[in-house]
Structure 1
């Protein structure tokens, strides 16, 4: 069996992403970095490699600042955010129930469901 020499890079190794366009929101003390959630619910800061990518994902009205990736990490570290997502491909609004999926629960409907089940 051949011995493998050298280091095999890990996918989780961090490499600076360079200057990023970072979405911000206006707060009482000025601009604040927006924190997002991954599809699995982890908190993440987001940066884009171009204004075009940022506006394609978040819209033209989204405010942004330009930050280097290490500066972004430093800003979100006190919030216990350790993940940086670069150029996320998609964002969607939070799901809301549609009128057809909302079924009022009444004592009569619970009694009827117990009889059927």
Structure 2
């Protein structure tokens, strides 16, 4: 085996498909479309979950989803410039709480 010199990094292993993923979708004018998310750094990413239970735990029971293979998800999002697929994201912002309408502010009268 060749000895690695300082600064020589081996090539990273090839990506392998994640298998069938539960992919969140939303209704659109032509049927359903995959939902896209943002990473903590603001990059757009496709998201897939390895089980329906993980999807439900993160996005809630009302989230629609479909099964897609990871290479298919990549090919669907590549034309949009999205090169990242995040599998089983651990953190998600909670849904915003409904906001109660503020009481009307009485008008000021200047005499």
In the TM superposition, residue 49 of structure 1 has moved relative to its aligned partner by 0.1
Partner of 2:50: 49
Q: Which has the higher helix share?
A: 1
Quote the RMSD (CA, aligned, Å). Answer: 2.3
* TM-score computed with the length of structure 1 as normaliser: 0.71
Does the residue aligned with 2:37 lie in a helix, a strand or coil? strand
Aligned to 1:99: none
Gaps of 5+ in 1: 96-117
Query: 1:26 & 1:91 partners in 2: Cα distance?
Result: 21
Task: Report how far residue 52 of structure 1 moved.
Answer: 0.4
CA deviation string 1:31-78 (max 9, x = no partner): 000010000000000000000000000000000000000000010011
Q: Which runs of 4+ in 1 moved over 4 A?
A: none
Partner of 2:16, secondary structure, is coil
How many residue pairs align between the two structures?
A: 92
Paired residue secondary structure (1:21): strand
1:59 lines up with 2:60 in the alignment: yes
Higher mean C-alpha deviation, range 44-53 or range 84-93: 84-93
Compute the TM-score of the two structures, normalised by the length of structure 2: 0.74
Q: CA deviation at 1:16?
A: 0.8
What's 2:17 paired with?
16
